[in-house]
Structure 1
Amino acid sequence: MIEPTDRQITGCHGELAVREWSAPHPGWIALIAHGYGEHSGRYQWVAEQLVGARALVWAPDHIGHGRSPGERVLVEDAETIVADLETVRQRVTAEHPDLPVVLIGHSMGGLLAARHAQLHQQHLAAVVLSAPVLGTWHVLDLLEHDEIPDTPIDPATLSRDPEVGAAYLADPLVWHGPFRRPTLQAIDQCLLAINEGPTLDRPTLWVHGEDDELVPEADTRTGIDRIRGDDFHEHIYPGARHELFNETNKAEVMNDVLTFIGRTLNT
């Protein structure tokens, strides 16, 4: 196991907790944006695979998530988290100015990564979107209620591996409560901004599980079609659920991701 180094970086609303995993002689930077309610520590296996491919990995806990400060899972403006990602990118590239940056976002982190890429494409070598919240998202229907129902994420939707769901439920840094109205509103506004924003001119890979009930592939595709650039690639995995990096075929997914990155960076 590769132990991460803990960093603290000042974001828009406080000191962000950032995990860093490093190869001895890194050839590129992987910046990971995690999903709603979780934290960067859940990407240990992912980081180890990236380090094995000569990456320097930085992964912040978004404000209100994991070990970062703030009211739990409260996001009043998604653009501030996008700005935090840019702050982290600036910090890591200041320390490693010659290394290209690949932005990897999962779920809500895919939403944030897509928006970041729209705003800062010139600073990225490539983008990887894992089951991103794009286009439409059925969870936003909760906004129609006067009081948001207590409908936490069902761990069975994450992976076909039951141990993933069990670990998710037992993780004290994961949020297990209801969605917050401001957060859903912020996601809704970010979706609108992405739909009205530019296409992605950076090489982009979209990976998604065919049996993803939490973020259905068909809903995401409506947003993907709005931002799809000329250098765009996709893999849809039959039978896979939401967390592809924790799925029973995660080795296949990671191989596809690393193949895409290696081809893009010519490594």
Structure 2
Amino acid sequence: MHFDPARDQRACDCPGFDEYLNFYEIDFATALPGTFHAMGRVLAGGYKIACHYWLPAGERPAKGTVMILHGYFDHVGLFDHLIHYLLERGYAVVAFDLPGHGLSNGERASIESFDHYVEVLDAVSSKTRSNLPEPLSAIGQSTGGAILLKRILEEGGQEFDKVTLLAPLVEPTLWWLNRLVYALTKRLKTVIPRKFLSNSSDAEFLDFLAARDPLQSRFVPILWIGAMKEWVRQCRSAAPSDYPVTILQGNRDTTLSWRINLRILRRRFPRGNIQIIPGARHHMANEMPELRQLIFDQMGF
């Protein structure tokens, strides 16, 4: 994939590709006539990463490019609402499946270190900056937010014009229990069963995840819990950053220890813009329509 419309084919000629687009309702070349969509693979950090980009319809140049980083267990197909919102507002959009997620390769829902996620982010953002409309901004949901936080805290975020985080992962709820499970099982098991959580007020979305999405993992690898544990330690001990990140957090989020997390993030980002969204749960990109619109309108795009 070249990130160049002159060299990239429209979307993909792979068998079943149109069915994939229609199933997840991300065929924006049809839904928004004049939109250009390309999909391909990016080699990054030893992985083959499934990556999409869309260019908005219309004669006016795009306002810039927004990169979307999804959360744990997620994939690009779940971000139809956010992609549509950005395209309608004249932004180009880049989105990719993290290693072990969606159509990317790698052990399912697993990673040895969040460093590998950052390597993939850097590879995709480098190609994006070289070829797609500037400026480049980023939106991260949950683990996607953690990846952006890690990148900014360790190396700065100068390449991003804006960064907006939706319920970024620091400590999950009952973090003490997660650490206990990890300590007791890391030498005995490689995975534990996944429990589907009520992480959105949209009942249809929750049913889709649990019963109809073939790209959902049913297990949590112990290795991933260890990688998350190390990320929490790194975030807690990181030096403050003056990057003006925007953080949106729902006050009905039961996936994260969100009050503790906001205390941590206020110390790490003293110039950050932190907003609490009343009624929102964890999966903010897939809340019920009224809340979702409120969330999107607060992102700054």
- Structure 2 residue 281 is matched with structure 1 residue 241: yes
Contact 1:136 1:223 (C-alpha < 8 Å) held by counterparts: no
Post-superposition offset of 1:105: 0.9
Post-superposition offset of 1:167: 1.1
Q: Distance in 2 between matches of 1:52 and 1:82?
A: 29
Post-superposition offset of 1:235: 1.9
Post-superposition offset of 1:6: 0.9
Q: Match for 2:183 among 138, 144, 163?
A: 144
Contact 1:199 1:228 (C-alpha < 8 Å) held by counterparts: yes
Question: Please, which runs of 5 or more residues in structure 1 have no aligned partner?
Answer: 262-267
| Letter in structure 1 aligned against 2:95 | A
2:293 is matched with: 251
More helix by share: 1
Contact 2:141 2:284 (C-alpha < 8 Å) held by counterparts: no
**Aligned Cα root-mean-square deviation (Å):** 1.9
Paired residue total: 255
Contact 2:55 2:92 (C-alpha < 8 Å) held by counterparts: yes
Cα gap change, 1:256 to 1:91, in 2 (>3 Å): same
Contact 2:42 2:51 (C-alpha < 8 Å) held by counterparts: yes
Q: Distance in 2 between matches of 1:7 and 1:234?
A: 35
1:17 is matched with: 50
Q: Classify the secondary structure of the residue corresponding to 1:57.
A: strand
Contact 1:30 1:104 (C-alpha < 8 Å) held by counterparts: yes
| Aligned 1:40-59 pairs, distance under 5 A | 40-59=76-95
Q: Classify the secondary structure of the residue corresponding to 1:215.
A: coil
Contact 1:27 1:54 (C-alpha < 8 Å) held by counterparts: yes
2:120 is matched with: 84
Q: Classify the secondary structure of the residue corresponding to 2:28.
A: coil
1:213 is matched with: 254
Contact 1:244 1:250 (C-alpha < 8 Å) held by counterparts: yes
Deviates more, 1:9-18 or 1:129-138: 129-138
Post-superposition offset of 1:191: 2.1
2:143 is matched with: 108
2:224 is matched with: 183
1:7 is matched with: 40
Contact 1:210 1:241 (C-alpha < 8 Å) held by counterparts: yes
| Letter in structure 1 aligned against 2:44 | G
Q: Distance in 2 between matches of 1:106 and 1:153?
A: 19
Q: Classify the secondary structure of the residue corresponding to 2:243.
A: coil
Q: Classify the secondary structure of the residue corresponding to 2:298.
A: helix
Post-superposition offset of 1:66: 0.5
Contact 2:193 2:218 (C-alpha < 8 Å) held by counterparts: no
Cα gap change, 1:191 to 1:68, in 2 (>3 Å): same
Post-superposition offset of 1:73: 0.9
Post-superposition offset of 1:194: 2.5
Post-superposition offset of 1:136: 5.9
Post-superposition offset of 1:219: 2.9
Post-superposition offset of 1:79: 0.5
Q: Distance in 1 between matches of 2:279 and 2:169?
A: 19
Identity of paired residues, percent?
21
Deviations 1:41-90 (A, max 9, x none): 11111011011222111111111111000110110011111111011000
| Letter in structure 1 aligned against 2:86 | L
Q: Match for 2:202 among 157, 161, 168?
A: 161
Deviates more, 1:142-151 or 1:199-208: 142-151
Deviations 1:83-140 (A, max 9, x none): 11011000011103x6012121111111111112222411111211111112565353
Give the TM-score, by structure 2 length.
0.79
Q: Classify the secondary structure of the residue corresponding to 2:43.
A: strand
1:127 is matched with: 163
Q: Distance in 1 between matches of 2:208 and 2:171?
A: 30
Deviations 1:212-259 (A, max 9, x none): 1111321321331232132x21221222211112112101110111xx
| Letter in structure 1 aligned against 2:28 | I
